Structure 1
Amino acid sequence: MAVQQYHHILVPVDGSKEAELAFKKAVAVAKRNGKDTELQLLHVVDTRAFQNISSFDSSMVEQVTKTAKKTLEQYIDYAKQQGVDNVSYTIEYGAPKTLIAKEVPQQSHADLIMIGATGLNAVERILIGSVTEFVTRTAICDVLVVRTDLDNKPIVNTKKK
């Protein structure tokens, strides 16, 4: 029986703790899957967030992009320290849901998306549903939702009502 191996792992990151855990677990998966496995980090700058700002100027987007690049470069350093050399990042601009679920996986030939259970934007989650939920329903490849820390302990409060 053949063991399922993933060769192109996409990890959307947004600066949240959940996204960082998804990234760290993705590094471990990439390591286990061998040298041929590519780890691609993705940060989406949600340009809709800037549409209603009357004094909108490109310096705001540039600042967000600069911050994202710094974080992504730290993630790449971490992955390389862990022995994963085939790692890169992409910064996209637009609607996170479709970029993460369809467009970027198609372009990058992703066969697995590893995503945190929740991201930064609680307001969007309440109003139009979470990015993670949309990705799990509509992605063009397998999706692994990370809900535990590196020791596989829950990171969200899971009390039963």
Structure 2
Amino acid sequence: MLQQYKQILVPVDGSYEAELAFKKAVAVAIRNQATIHLVHVVDTRAFQNISSFDTSMVEQVTDTAKETLEKYVQEAHQAGLKDIDYSIEYGAPKSVIAKDLPRNLHIDLIMIGATGLNAVERLLIGSVTEFVTRTALCDVLVVRTDLDNQPAKKPEN
């Protein structure tokens, strides 16, 4: 019997790679009659070192994430996927994506972009994607190609 995924987690951070993971996840979810759970994790550690920490900064990041997530939900609905929701989480992205949400939402597949936005974090403490592939509580599919299965190249602006 073929593996059928029913609960798919797709972390999005505004990067091109995350968008590709989302688009591929929609196709997988439609084929498997699955639910997509989109998540954006606001890394609260990034705000800890700012001496003039202001809640308006977090609100601004949250508002931007909400706009992106709602755009993705609308796009999924237009593609024919009805079972999609999203959440904005706060904390360390690595553990939220690899452990907390899979446990709480009974996730059986995480579809994640090969790289995200934060190059500095990748250099200093390792990428979220790398951590998720090593420690996730479920299967992980790392999206490295575009919708035509060609190596992903960020579109020129």
TM-score by length of 1: 0.94
Give CA-to-partner distance per residue, 1:58-96, whole Å, 9 cap, x none.
000000000000000000000000110000001000000
Instruction: Tell me the equivalent position of 1:154.
Output: 151
Q: State the SS of the aligned residue for 1:120.
A: coil
Alignment of 1:47-62 (within 5 A): 47-62=44-59
Q: State the SS of the aligned residue for 1:113.
A: strand
Q: State the SS of the aligned residue for 2:98.
A: helix
Q: State the SS of the aligned residue for 2:142.
A: strand
The number of residues matched between the two structures is 154
Instruction: Tell me the equivalent position of 1:142.
Output: 139
Instruction: Tell me the equivalent position of 2:97.
Output: 100
- Consecutive unaligned residues of structure 1, counting only runs of 5 or more, are none
TM-score by length of 2: 0.96
Aligned mates of 1:7, 1:31 — CA distance in 2:
10
Aligned mates of 1:40, 1:73 — CA distance in 2:
12
Instruction: Tell me the equivalent position of 1:77.
Output: 74
Q: Where does structure 1 differ by over 2 angstroms across 4 or more consecutive aligned residues?
A: none
Aligned mates of 2:141, 2:92 — CA distance in 1:
21
Aligned mates of 2:21, 2:135 — CA distance in 1:
19
Give CA-to-partner distance per residue, 1:85-109, whole Å, 9 cap, x none.
0000010000000000000111000
Q: What letter is aligned with 1:27? A: V
- Consecutive unaligned residues of structure 2, counting only runs of 5 or more, are none
| Offset at residue 156 of structure 1 (A) | 5.6
Q: What letter is aligned with 2:26? A: V
